[in-house]
């Protein structure tokens, strides 16, 4: 050890000490660089989460002056910083959540009527209620749907499909006026084309952080729920491709959906699409049946169920084959089975809101069923439920017409080929059951689907009816719903259906 070495004439033990010392210094340097690096990346994610997603795990509600207050946890987001150097965006990625079910009491209720283009808010003191929420959301890349094949790698972040903000900007020609599809209460919707040719609709939420954030969160919760439960059944529900917001200032929130290319039911019945012709009875019923199936799925096939809360004709998009796509889950509510919720504010669209929900804030799937009934009446009559020019609302008018044996006069006069009397009565009966003022008497959506399908396959259904229903039951149903008391006005058609007799 004390021997001199050829290296600077140093003794062997000195040389060994120098080597060990140098080795320790190098290790320490590497460690400190690694610790500093980790600390920095953690800080940047935390700084982002605090400034841009203030506690996204909270459900939110709008208080009396429209500001946001937090409620309870449903979904916990995981924030991921994009690795794209050129981009000015950060992506929000929804992660797995823990179950939470704290009870929640509310004090007062308000009524919020969101009309087309106009909003009016009135407040009512109301009752208290309890809500129990469940949550579950799964990682799993369920949204690697074929229309998105060939798009950038940035999409592989759990479920959902993610894009760079600048890609969306590019796809919509920088959100140009030409690309505008329409404007709703929460934002402007643009048509876009992704680099692989897929057409999308991009909703750029208004830069009112409160409302935008609210809509963003609620839609994310609802769609996360569908994706988790059953992607395959989404046929009649709008498909979301991705969720993205820009971290640029001011923050821009966006939701991106599959593009549905044939307008919406409101446009076909009362608006811009009328120039393409009058929607036939068959097309109307196809759209209505698709909507009914989507609601049956939301209410009965998944747990927790989803109450849409804003079923109306402008939220029913239509594709080339006249398939319905239920869209706009911005007001959706998740409820456990058999649960109701008494809300602090009633939200929905004037003309479609169920009476018990408007009066006391009581919310469950029956309020969607009422709105669906109004939608069905709208499709039958071609009348706009949101029409102040008319002295009585659509439901009351309809009941009055049916009650005075003028059922055949309610059909949209624009229809060239009218439905048969039997089909009309059957469809009216389904609609009137849905708008029954007693929520408990409204049928379940799956029953409504069966009633409507009976019109598509009447002979089949007639056989089933003969076996399972008695004539007196049907007479009772019609009498009860329309206020009709004279059994003489009921007749039996050749297939054995009981219907009301009309007098020309």
Ligand X SMILES: Nc1ncnc2c1ncn2[C@@H]1O[C@H](COP(=O)(O)OP(=O)(O)OP(=O)(O)O)[C@@H](O)[C@H]1O
| DSSP-assigned beta bridge partners for residue 202 | 190, 256
Q: Mark residues 47-86: x for contact with ligand X by CB under 6 A, - for none.
A: ----------------------------------------
238 binds ligand X (CB under 6 A): yes
Q: In angstroms, rounded to a whole number, what is the distance separating the alpha carbons of residues 60 and 69? A: 6
Q: In angstroms, rounded to a whole number, what is the distance separating the alpha carbons of residues 496 and 316? A: 34
- Does the annotation list 312 as a binding residue? no
Q: Least distance from C-beta 183 to ligand X, angstroms?
A: 6
201 binds ligand X (CB under 6 A): yes
241 binds ligand X (CB under 6 A): no
Residue 228 or 309 having the CB closest to ligand X: 309
Region of 251-259, 287-295, 301-309, 480-488 interacting with ligand X (CB under 6 A): 251-259
Residue 116 or 426 having the CB closest to ligand X: 116
Count the residues of the shown chain that bind ligand X, applying the rule CB under 6 A: 23
Q: Which residue spans within 358-438 are E strands per DSSP?
A: 362-363
Q: In angstroms, rounded to a whole number, what is the distance separating the alpha carbons of residues 295 and 449? A: 10
Count of Cβ atoms closer than 10 Å to residue 113 Cβ: 19
Q: Which of 59, 213, 219, 328 binds ligand X (CB under 6 A)?
A: 328
Count of Cβ atoms closer than 10 Å to residue 473 Cβ: 11
Region of 5-13, 84-92, 314-322, 409-417 interacting with ligand X (CB under 6 A): 314-322
Q: Which long-range contacts (CB under 8 A, 24 or more apart) does 33-38 make?
A: none
Residue among 321, 331, 325 at smallest CA distance from 352: 331
Residue 327 or 367 having the CB closest to ligand X: 327
Q: Least distance from C-beta 273 to ligand X, angstroms?
A: 10
327 binds ligand X (CB under 6 A): yes
Q: Mark residues 347-386: x for contact with ligand X by CB under 6 A, - for none.
A: ----------------------------------------
CA 46-48-49 angle, to 5 degrees, is 65
Burial level of 227, CB count in 10 A (0-12/13-18/19+)? buried
465 binds ligand X (CB under 6 A): no
109 binds ligand X (CB under 6 A): no
Q: In angstroms, rounded to a whole number, what is the distance separating the alpha carbons of residues 154 and 241? A: 13
Burial 312-338 (b: 16+ CB within 10 A, else e): bbbbbbbbeebbbbbbbbbbbbbbeee
Q: Least distance from C-beta 152 to ligand X, angstroms?
A: 21
184 binds ligand X (CB under 6 A): yes
Do the Cβ atoms of 237 and 226 come closer than 8 Å? yes
Region of 184-192, 281-289, 442-450, 485-493 interacting with ligand X (CB under 6 A): 184-192
Instruction: Indicate if 310 belongs to the active site.
Output: yes
Region of 50-58, 88-96, 309-317, 479-487 interacting with ligand X (CB under 6 A): 309-317
Q: Which of 15, 68, 181, 415 binds ligand X (CB under 6 A)?
A: 181
182 binds ligand X (CB under 6 A): yes
Tokens 């929130």 map to which residue? 253
Tokens 């439960």 map to which residue? 229
Cα dist from 365 to 96, 245, 304, 341, 459, whole Å = 26, 31, 11, 10, 31
In the bound state, the residue with its beta carbon closest to ligand X is: 184
Q: Least distance from C-beta 399 to ligand X, angstroms?
A: 27
Do the Cβ atoms of 96 and 329 come closer than 8 Å? no
Cα dist from 156 to 112, 149, 163, 168, whole Å = 39, 12, 10, 17
Q: Which of 162, 259, 350, 370 binds ligand X (CB under 6 A)?
A: 259
185 binds ligand X (CB under 6 A): yes
114 binds ligand X (CB under 6 A): yes
Q: Which of 63, 103, 178, 310 is catalytic?
A: 310
Binding-site annotation, residues for ATP = 204
Would you name the residues annotated as active-site residues?
Answer: 310
Residues that bind ligand X (CB under 6 A): 114, 181-187, 189, 201, 203, 238, 257-260, 264, 310, 314-315, 317, 327-328
């Amino acid at each position: 050890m004390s021997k001199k070495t050829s290296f600077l004439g140093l003794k062997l033990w000195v040389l060994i000490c120098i080597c060990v010392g140098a080795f320790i210094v190098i290790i320490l340097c590497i460690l400190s660089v690694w610790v500093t690096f980790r600390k920095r990346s953690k800080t940047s994610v935390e700084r982002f989460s605090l400034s841009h997603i203030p506690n996204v795990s909270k459900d939110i509600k709008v208080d009396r002056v429209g500001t946001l207050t937090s409620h309870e946890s449903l979904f916990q987001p995981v924030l991921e910083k994009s690795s794209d150097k050129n981009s000015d965006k950060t992506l929000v990625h929804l992660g797995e959540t823990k179950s939470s079910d704290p009870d929640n009491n509310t004090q007062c209720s308000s009524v919020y009527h969101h009309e087309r283009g106009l909003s009016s808010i009135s407040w009512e003191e109301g009752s208290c209620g309890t809500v129990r929420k469940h949550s579950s959301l799964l990682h799993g890349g369920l949204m690697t749907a074929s229309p998105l094949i060939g798009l950038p790698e940035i999409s592989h972040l759990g479920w959902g499909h993610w894009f760079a903000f600048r890609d969306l900007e590019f796809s919509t020609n920088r959100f140009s006026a030409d690309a505008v599809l329409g404007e709703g209460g929460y934002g402007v919707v643009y048509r876009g084309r992704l680099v692989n040719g897929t057409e999308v609709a991009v909703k750029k939420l208004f830069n009112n952080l409160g409302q935008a954030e609210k809509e963003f969160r609620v839609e994310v919760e609802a769609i996360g729920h569908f994706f988790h439960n059953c992607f395959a059944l989404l046929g009649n529900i709008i498909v979301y491709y991705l969720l993205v917001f820009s971290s640029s200032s001011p923050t821009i929130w966006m939701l991106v959906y599959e593009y549905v290319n044939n307008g919406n039911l409101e446009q076909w019945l009362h608006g811009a699409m009328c120039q393409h012709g009058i929607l036939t009875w068959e097309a109307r019923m196809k759209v209505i049946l698709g909507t009914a199936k989507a609601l049956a799925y939301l209410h009965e096939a998944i747990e927790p169920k989803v109450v849409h809360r804003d079923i109306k004709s402008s939220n029913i998009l239509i594709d080339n084959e006249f398939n319905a796509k239920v869209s706009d889950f911005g007001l959706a509510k998740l409820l456990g089975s058999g649960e109701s919720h008494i809300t602090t504010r009633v939200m929905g669209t004037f003309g479609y809101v169920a009476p018990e929900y408007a009066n006391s804030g009581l919310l469950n799937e029956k309020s969607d069923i009422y709105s669906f009934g109004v939608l069905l009446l709208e499709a039958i009559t071609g009348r706009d439920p949101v029409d102040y020019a008319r002295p009585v609302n659509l439901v009351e008018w309809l009941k009055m017409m049916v009650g005075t044996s003028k059922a055949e006069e309610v059909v949209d006069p624009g229809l060239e080929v009218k439905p048969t009397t039997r089909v009309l009565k059957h469809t009216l009966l389904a609609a009137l059951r849905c708008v029954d003022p007693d929520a408990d008497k409204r049928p379940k959506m799956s029953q409504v689907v069966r009633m409507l399908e009976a019109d598509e396959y009447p002979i089949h259904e007639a056989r089933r009816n003969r076996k399972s229903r008695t004539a007196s039951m049907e007479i009772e149903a019609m009498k009860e719903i329309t206020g009709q008391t004279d059994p003489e006005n009921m007749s039996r058609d050749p297939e054995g259906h009981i219907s009301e007799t009309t007098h020309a």
